[in-house]
DNA sequence: TGCTGATGCCTTGCATTGCCCGGTATGTTG
DNA sequence: CAACATACCGGGCAATGCAAGGCATCAGCA
């Protein structure tokens, strides 16, 4: 009975994942699978397949730009770059995240 | 373009709301509308109607128990009490929330 | 040459869950 | 009796992470 442990993390990821992805792109360009691996390492992503729909959405929203790797030895990769709009959205999220996190902390820390 | 501000908070609430509700019940018994008001004050709930499906789910899962207010002057109220299972789930969430919050903070704080 | 596996991209259908809108019932007040 | 506030509840909607699988290219090897 009760609530499954996995579900907890799954629901926490919602609303955070896409901005953590944007934050990753602050540091440089990455391609899909690499982004997926990095996010998975930090427990923010369950499977690699999850990241592609997200990346498509970010691209359609104009938060990231893509560029195919030309004249590369391996498989062609699609590299993602943060746009100014993406950078602004990331900053906006940070301002929402701070108070939100503090609110939750306060409620949880109240002594029984 | 970009991502709407409202959506950000909406998605953040998912996965947090039900545990903040449980945390409220740690301090005593409350009835539906009162719970809704308290959560709304802290920006964790958009409308009062949202809380009732959630409360039903928590009841079916055995995390809370309910008791109708007897011999009260006003309308009958359904009071919610935290069960042992609910208390345990709340504790389990706290242990997940801590590391999760730290991870997100770390990613966001990385300097560009 | 032809098979196998790894890499990398992507799509489809699903489940969860908060939100919005509306409905019911009871008590108080003019 | 009408109107309003209180208090409960349900149904349909939308967003989004997840699981599973498909397709294409290249390297290694017999």
Cα distance between residue B57 and residue B66, in whole Å:
12
Residue of higher predicted confidence among A112 and B94: B94
Q: Report the number of distinct structural domains present in chain B.
A: 1
Chain-centroid distance, C-alpha A73: 28
Q: What pLDDT does residue A111 have?
A: 54
Which tens digit of pLDDT belongs to each residue from B47-92?
A: 888 999 999 999 999 999 999 886 566 778 899 999 999 999 999 9
**Rounded CA Rg of chain A:** 17
Q: What are phi and psi of A13, to 5 degrees?
A: -60, -35
Cβ neighbours of A19 in B, within 8 Å? 108
Structure tokens at B69: 């207010």
Cβ neighbours of B91 in A, within 8 Å? none
Q: What pLDDT does residue B7 have?
A: 85
pLDDT of A112 over the 60 cut: no
Nearest CA in chain B to A83: B2
Give the CA B14 to C1' D7 distance in Å. 25
**Three-point CA angle A104, B87, B21, nearest 5°:** 40
pLDDT of B9 over the 60 cut: yes
> Pick from A64, A1, A53, A60: which is nearest to A30 by CA?
A64
Q: What pLDDT does residue A72 have?
A: 59
Q: What pLDDT does residue B76 have?
A: 85
Q: Which nucleotide is nearest to A68 (CA to C1')?
A: C9
Residue B80: beta bridge partners?
B30, B66
Residue of higher predicted confidence among A110 and B35: B35
Nearest CA in chain B to A8: B15
Which tens digit of pLDDT belongs to each residue from A36-53?
A: 999 999 989 988 889 999
Domain of residue A97 covers 5-109
Given pLDDT bands bounded at 50, 70 and 90, which one contains residue B109?
A: confident
> Pick from A47, B96, A60, A108: which is nearest to A17 by CA?
A47
Residue among B2, B97, B107 minimizing CB distance to A85: B2
For CA atoms A80, A84, A89, A91, give the dihedral sign: positive
Q: What percent of chain A has pLDDT over 90?
A: 64
pLDDT of A74 over the 90 cut: no
Supply the DSSP string of B30-71, one letter for each residue: EEHHHHHHHHHHTTS-S-GGGHHHHHHHHHHTTSEEEEEPPS
Q: What pLDDT does residue B110 have?
A: 67
Residue A76, domain CATH? 1.10.10.10
Q: What pLDDT does residue A73 have?
A: 62
């Amino acid at each position: 009975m009760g609530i499954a442990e996995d579900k907890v993390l799954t629901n926490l990821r919602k609303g955070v994942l896409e901005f953590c992805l944007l934050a990753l792109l602050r540091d440089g360009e990455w391609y899909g699978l690499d982004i997926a691996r990095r996010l998975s390492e930090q427990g923010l992503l369950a499977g690699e397949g999850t990241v592609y729909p997200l990346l498509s959405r970010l691209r359609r929203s104009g938060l990231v730009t893509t560029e195919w790797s030309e004249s590369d030895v391996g498989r062609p990769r699609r590299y993602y770059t943060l746009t100014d709009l993406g950078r602004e959205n990331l900053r906006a999220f940070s301002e929402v995240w701070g108070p939100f996190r503090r609110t939750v902390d306060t409620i949880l820390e109240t002594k029984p």
